[in-house]
Amino acid sequence: MRSKNLAIIIMVVAVLSLALAGCSNVLDNYEHTLTIASTEGGTVVEPGEGEFPIDYGTVATLVIEADEDYNLSEWEGPDGEDVVEEDGEYKITIDGDKEILAVFSEEVEEVSGIENFESYDIGYDEFYSKSWYPDDVEAVVVEDPYGSQGKVLEVTINNYNAVPVIKLDLEEGKTLADYSKFVFKGYFAQGDVGYKDIHVAVYADEPDGEFNTDDDEIIGTWNRAKDGSSEWEDITIDIDGSEDLSGTVYVAFGMHQAGTGDIGGDGVETIWYADDVGFE
């Protein structure tokens, strides 16, 4: 009786093994769907874009083609993290239905010594200031409200003797004395922005205290003799920089302004914008 039961157990195990092997073969030969899409700026040319039936276990190669001035920045979608790069090729293993999105982004030209704010997130506001109190000036990265400059620095003035401060990296091997001009694009939107001297001062370390127009660190001043802006303006200020300043410097620039003014309305807050800030 015992040997008969043993024989039955062996037969059951054998049948189950065959069944499991059959299931494995069915799974291995099963087709899954790879769904591919892309954003503006490029396309996936191999295997293409859309839905593709692909056998289980296949390692699919993805070939992308970026438009001029665009690069592939990442793979997104529910299964974007499954895409891996090997020897310059993008691949994904088909172990189930997959859905991926090729994300392309526009190339940003980086110019040494020029800050265009494109590397900052919208809403970034951790800039330095030269002011009596930190709240005297608010500097935050925003999308250009006038539509042509991409990301720009929005400056809101709440008190006199207050200007924003940004860090700039001078070109390797150069000192501030090798530059003759401070430049930026400006849009002087509203408030106390008309008929003002624009000053620029440069510091070796993070500055503190209020901004005075007779500070020793001021290296240039230019009089903007007009009301508010109707378009972006190219601001150029002649400077006399020190050969003792090189590498990373702290640049304070702006005007002696009240927190409110009459350009753009009666008693509106003072706001201006800057972009492409640097030295030439």
Peptide bond into 207 cis (omega under 30): no
* Tens-digit pLDDT string for the chain (280 aa): 555 554 455 554 444 454 444 444 444 457 899 999 999 999 999 999 999 999 999 999 999 999 988 989 899 999 999 999 988 799 999 999 999 999 998 775 544 568 999 999 999 999 999 999 989 999 999 999 998 899 999 999 999 999 999 999 999 999 999 999 999 999 999 999 999 999 999 999 999 999 998 889 999 999 999 999 999 999 999 999 999 999 999 999 999 999 999 999 999 999 999 999 999 9
The overall pTM is greater than 0.85: no
Q: What is the Cα Rg of the chain in Å?
A: 31
Ranges in the chain annotated CATH 2.60.120.260: 114-279
Residue 171 CB coordination number (10 Å): 14
Contact 135/186 with Cβ under 8 angstroms? no
Sheet with 50-55, edge to edge strand ranges: 50-55, 31-38, 98-106, 70-76
CATH of region 114-279: 2.60.120.260
